[in-house]
Amino acid sequence: MSAASGFSPNRVAEMLRKELRQIFRDPQLYRILFVAPVVQLLMFGYAVSTDVRHTRTFVVDHAGDATSRRVVEALTAGGFFDVVGRSTRDADVVTELDHGRAVVGLVIPPRFGADLAAGDATVQLLVDGTNSNVATVALGHAEGILSSLGVTLAPPAAVAGLAPPIELRDRAWYNPDLASRDYNVPGVVGVLLFLVCMLLTALAVVRERELGTLEQLMVTPLLPLELVAGKALPFALIGLVDLVLVTLLAVLWFGVPFIGSPLLLLFATVLFLLPSLGLGLLISTTSKTQQEAFMASYLTLVPAILLSGFMFPVASMPPLFRWLSLLNPLRHYLEIVRGVFLKGVGLPELWRQHLWLLALGVAFVGVAAARFQKRIG
């Protein structure tokens, strides 16, 4: 089938032109390319939040004095806790937590004011640990607020010598407000690119097979490599357009900082497209129908996303999975994207991730091309 000798950029360009025309003629594809990424970015940008604020709090106040009211005020002042109910019976806090109407219960004992004046008061904090993340953070906030309040509220006589022995001063770099959105939205950029490139490449190739037009392509003088390149390139272009679209939206709509170099991001994205397209091609060689390709893509996407550090930190995985995640292009790309967006770091810090992307790209594309050739031959 190879009457032509050598790889010809001209033929690839011809193929590319045909592919682009085909893509833009399909109204459904249009939607997947441009509408879906925007909708998904909006959905993820808003839904995926690990900020813990306005935690629903139920107060059982046995004291009912001015001091106990100060405690409740201090707790709710920062916006971390919202009081959803009050009572004077201990049993009520159990009911509220059981029903899930409150996440935190604050129990203030009788004679609280007098105890505090004597320098020996206790409050009880009951936390619903069902959502471990919310519970850990809420507990930290509450303990911090309450123990510093103790020093403020205690009478001067009791405060003598109360200057805390050690004080922790914290500073969060890169994201001083610790807004989880700044971390998540750049991650969505990576996930969307991965999804678009892999899924669409797989579907497009399999569709040719389904329609029986793949044979037509094979009898043309195109080399297998040219065929693969022509098939994958349009989606690489679309991926780059999506990158610009989604990045602009992240910065302008969600106000995510972009400190680093756009050029580096572009360069890294080109490297990242290699393994994404390679995986798409690989899936297309194993699927007979678009339906099968869709399922296979889904089965690839789920572990790739979960083991990328997109939502769950790589550092919290057991060693085996931490090691496995090195083979996941999304993991390396997310490290680059977040580094560029939030830290403003460059190649000196991120060269390893770039190398991984290149290596994985060459490997995936190589295997896919070999399998492609075999199926044709």
Among residues 2, 88, 131, 213, which is the contact residue for other proteins, using CB under 8 A? Answer: 131
Please give the size of the binding site for other proteins, defined by CB under 8 A. Answer: 101
Token couple for 270: 């080109």
Among residues 78, 129, 221, 366, which is the contact residue for other proteins, using CB under 8 A? Answer: 129
Q: Closest by alpha carbon to 68, among 118, 97, 107?
A: 107
What string marks each residue from 133 to 152 as x (binds other proteins by CB under 8 A) or -?
Answer: xxxxx-xxxxxx-xx-xxx-
- When asked if residue 326 is in the footprint of other proteins (CB under 8 A), the reply is no
- Of the pair 222, 350, the CB lying nearest other proteins is at 350
Point out which span in 18-26, 175-183, 243-251, 359-367 binds other proteins (CB under 8 A). Answer: 175-183
105 phi, psi to nearest 5 deg:
-115, 130
- When asked if residue 306 is in the footprint of other proteins (CB under 8 A), the reply is yes
- Of the pair 162, 362, the CB lying nearest other proteins is at 162
Q: How many CB atoms lie within 10 A of CB 121?
A: 21
CA trace torsion 247, 251, 257, 258 (10° rounding): 40
- Of the pair 232, 345, the CB lying nearest other proteins is at 345
Give Cα 57 distance to the centre of its chain: 29
- Of the pair 88, 291, the CB lying nearest other proteins is at 291
Token couple for 259: 């400190």
* Amino acid at position 299, single letter: L
- When asked if residue 128 is in the footprint of other proteins (CB under 8 A), the reply is yes
Residues 6+ apart with CB under 8 A from 125: 104, 105, 106, 107, 139, 142, 143, 146
As measured in angstroms, the least distance from the Cβ of 354 to other proteins is: 14
Segment 268 to 297, residues that bind other proteins, using CB under 8 A: 289-292, 294-295
As measured in angstroms, the least distance from the Cβ of 320 to other proteins is: 8
As measured in angstroms, the least distance from the Cβ of 56 to other proteins is: 7
DSSP string, 299-311: HHHHHHHHTTTSS
Point out which span in 17-25, 58-66, 217-225, 313-321 binds other proteins (CB under 8 A). Answer: 313-321
Q: How many CB atoms lie within 10 A of CB 149?
A: 18
Segment 49 to 108, residues that bind other proteins, using CB under 8 A: 49-56, 97-100, 103
Residues 6+ apart with CB under 8 A from 152: none
SS3 105: strand
- Of the pair 55, 247, the CB lying nearest other proteins is at 55
As measured in angstroms, the least distance from the Cβ of 203 to other proteins is: 8
SS3 325: helix
Among residues 120, 255, 286, 376, which is the contact residue for other proteins, using CB under 8 A? Answer: 120
As measured in angstroms, the least distance from the Cβ of 371 to other proteins is: 19
Q: How far is residue 375 from each of residues 213, 215, 218, 222, 279, measured CA to CA in Å?
A: 15, 11, 11, 15, 16
Among residues 127, 217, 218, 240, which is the contact residue for other proteins, using CB under 8 A? Answer: 127
